[in-house]
């Protein structure tokens, strides 16, 4: 009887086996570095655990709370990304028949997406406050195109079509995983043509040595914000600034969606409140007066009499 029971049992699988499977499935994905970092974390905190022994509390109690080294507190959204990784690990294990079910792990509530943008004067002050020439160029390009940091820093000359005035964001770089054209305005074309004459490598933006840059110079950016008296602002907010300027100047949301490479119109609706011009044509539809009460009597004195009359009516109604 004991042997029969043992034969019916599934072999116990460990978290290490599931993490390896997760990385194998993730090969070639653009966020593989992030997944490797998450895998290393979960391997450390759950070392030696069998998958069947993991509970909801095991996941929740082991979610990281602070950055390694700096001990800076992690945001709810960052914690949710770690949660997403381990849930994907367990989901793959479940599909493989290694566990009977996946424990339920609720997401941390996240604050609403903030939209922080600069006026054109503030933007110019920021650019002027940067010390590094290549940082001035990168930030200016972000303000003029709305491109994301990775899209800018990975841009190569062979991806730029000066005649068609576009740059190609390849699928391995695009956040959506789909290649898209990045329209280039006339001012961007002028900047790029000047850089083309001085190019030293295939990369458009670099520190001067032609080598690929993995991220912006955070210290130069931080100091520039301080000099320009700009608070609560991140590099990605340059993209928000670009989008906000577009909406304020009348660019339709569907057009902005295509320009910025957003997958969903919901992501673009965060900017809708910046332009109410499309509502003005409907503002008078529900007018109370058939003709404007201000102009109905013609003279300024008569208009003043109208206001007196309206005030008296209010007094009587009380």
Per-residue pLDDT of the chain (318 residues; tens, 9 = 90+): 445 455 556 789 999 999 999 999 998 777 888 999 999 999 999 999 999 999 999 999 999 998 877 788 988 889 999 999 999 999 999 999 999 999 999 998 877 767 788 999 999 999 999 999 999 999 999 999 999 999 999 999 999 999 999 999 988 888 877 889 999 999 999 999 999 998 999 999 999 899 999 899 999 999 999 999 999 999 999 999 999 999 888 898 899 899 998 888 887 887 777 766 655 655 666 555 555 544 544 555 555 555 565 555 544 444
Q: How many CA atoms lie within 13 A of 184 on its CB side?
A: 22
d(CA 272, CA 268) in angstroms, rounded, equals 7
Known active-site residue 117: no
Q: Indicate which residue of 116, 207, 262, 270 is catalytic.
A: 262
In order of their start, the domains of the chain are 2-95 (no CATH), 120-271 (1.10.443.10)
Known active-site residue 148: yes
Token readout for 45 is 């905190």
Q: Indicate which residue of 81, 136, 175, 195 is catalytic.
A: 175
Known active-site residue 262: yes
Known active-site residue 271: yes
Q: Indicate which residue of 148, 159, 180, 206 is catalytic.
A: 148
Long-range contacts of 266-275 (CB under 8 A, 24+ apart): 268/243, 270/113, 270/115, 271/115, 271/240, 271/243, 271/244, 271/246, 271/247, 272/247, 274/244, 274/247, 274/248, 275/247, 275/248, 275/250
Q: Indicate which residue of 35, 180, 206, 239 is catalytic.
A: 239
d(CA 220, CA 243) in angstroms, rounded, equals 24
């Amino acid at each position: 009887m004991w042997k029969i029971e043992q034969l019916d049992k599934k072999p116990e699988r460990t978290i290490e086996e599931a993490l390896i499977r997760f990385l194998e499935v993730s090969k070639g994905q653009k966020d593989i570095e992030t997944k490797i970092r998450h895998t290393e974390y979960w391997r450390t905190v759950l070392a030696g655990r069998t998958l069947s022994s993991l509970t909801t509390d095991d996941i929740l109690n082991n979610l990281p709370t602070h950055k390694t080294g700096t001990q800076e507190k992690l945001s709810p959204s960052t914690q949710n990304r770690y949660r997403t990784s381990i849930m994907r690990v367990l989901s793959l294990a479940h599909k493989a028949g290694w566990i009977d079910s996946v424990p339920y792990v609720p997401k941390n509530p996240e604050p609403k997406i903030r939209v922080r943008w600069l006026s054109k004067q503030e933007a110019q002050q920021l650019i002027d406050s940067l010390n590094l020439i290549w940082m001035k160029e990168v930030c200016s390009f972000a303000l003029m195109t709305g491109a994301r940091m990775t899209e800018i820093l990975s841009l190569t000359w062979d991806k730029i079509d000066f005649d068609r005035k576009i740059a190609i964001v390849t699928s391995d770089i695009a956040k959506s995983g789909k290649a898209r054209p990045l329209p280039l305005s006339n001012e961007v074309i002028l900047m790029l043509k000047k850089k083309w004459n001085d190019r030293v490598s295939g990369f458009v933006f670099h520190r001067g040595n032609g080598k690929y840059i993995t991220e912006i110079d955070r210290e130069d950016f931080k100091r520039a914000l301080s000099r320009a008296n700009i608070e609560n602002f991140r590099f990605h907010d340059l993209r928000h600034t670009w989008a906000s300027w577009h909406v304020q100047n009348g660019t339709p949301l569907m057009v902005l969606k295509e320009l910025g490479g957003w997958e969903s119109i919901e992501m673009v609706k965060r900017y809708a409140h910046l332009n109410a011009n499309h509502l003005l044509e409907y503002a008078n539809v529900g007018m109370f007066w058939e003709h404007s009460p201000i102009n109905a009597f013609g003279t300024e004195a008569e208009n003043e009499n109208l206001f007196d009359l309206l005030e008296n009516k209010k007094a009587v109604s009380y």
